[in-house]
Structure 1
Amino acid sequence: MTRDFYEKLGFEFIMGPVGPEPVAIMEHPSGVNINFILNANSSSSVNQLMDISEKHAGYTHIALEVDDLAKAKGQIEALGCTITEGPVETPDGAIFLFIRDPDRNVIEFHQPPSK
């Protein structure tokens, strides 16, 4: 399920499982690599860093810069992905939106302010 989701976003399966804590590796044509933990045993449907009121230190999400957020939004929706927040525009003109992957990891798509 997770692999299919990321393939829709343009990532390609590179290898896996590899390593003592087995991971699978996927790569996007832009050069972004993601390692997925394959031996996770959590059946929780929450993202521990984002979905609970007690805040812990750690990584909360990745942000991918796009040139045209409106175009990216259309592509995201065409893939059947649910937008969980946004688009939101900041006072400086940046625009962003968020989606979740099947493991509830947050992915931000971010268009910087016009120069």
Structure 2
Amino acid sequence: MQIKKLDHVGIRVMNVEKSMQFYKTLGFQVIREDYKEQVFVVKHPSGIEINLIAHGDNDHDRRNILMDVDVRYPGYTHYAIEVGSVEDAKAFFESINIKITGGPVTFGDGKTSIFIRDPDLNVLEFTELPTS
């Protein structure tokens, strides 16, 4: 088997319109709206594709049950997007009033990251690779 790349990420959301607007703010474009299946696809010019899946339940008091509770449930905790400059990303988020929820932090491999949350409290990491 030859694995080529990660094709897309699917995220269940409570409010599709709000989520689509959030991702548009980050430079994504809506490329598919499937009202029958309740799947709405956004794609960034860099090739990143996210499926926004409608009708998430709000039974966890507006917390991310994978990140904001003491019990460590299995599942995806976040996804990371490589950027050219964490400082530029930080300035961009601050200019549009998106709260930086973590970082900047530099990890042992030299990557520097900041973290934000989407409207459904999913964690997005924006990471800058170390220069050689």
After superposing the two structures, state which structure 1 stretch, 36-45 or 46-55, moved more: 36-45
Moved over 6 A (4+): none
Does the CA contact (< 8 Å) of 1:63 and 1:108 recur in 2?
yes
The alignment partner of 1:80 has SS state of coil
Q: Residue 130 of structure 2 aligns with which residue? A: 113
State which of 42, 61, 67 in structure 1 corresponds to 2:84: 67
Aligned length: 114
Give the TM-score taking structure 2 as reference length: 0.79
Gaps of 5+ in 1: none
**C-alpha RMSD over aligned residues:** 1.5
Does the CA contact (< 8 Å) of 2:19 and 2:52 recur in 1?
no
**1:36 aligned partner, one-letter code:** L
Q: Residue 54 of structure 2 aligns with which residue? A: 38
Shift of 1:64: 0.4
The alignment partner of 2:101 has SS state of strand
Give the TM-score taking structure 1 as reference length: 0.90
For residues 17-74 of structure 1, the C-alpha deviation after alignment (integer angstroms, 9 at most, x for no partner) is: 3564x21111111010101111222243011111111111111111001121111111
Shift of 1:14: 1.3
Confirm whether residue 4 of structure 1 aligns to residue 21 of structure 2: yes
Distance 1:72 1:3 in 2: 19
Gaps of 5+ in 2: 1-17
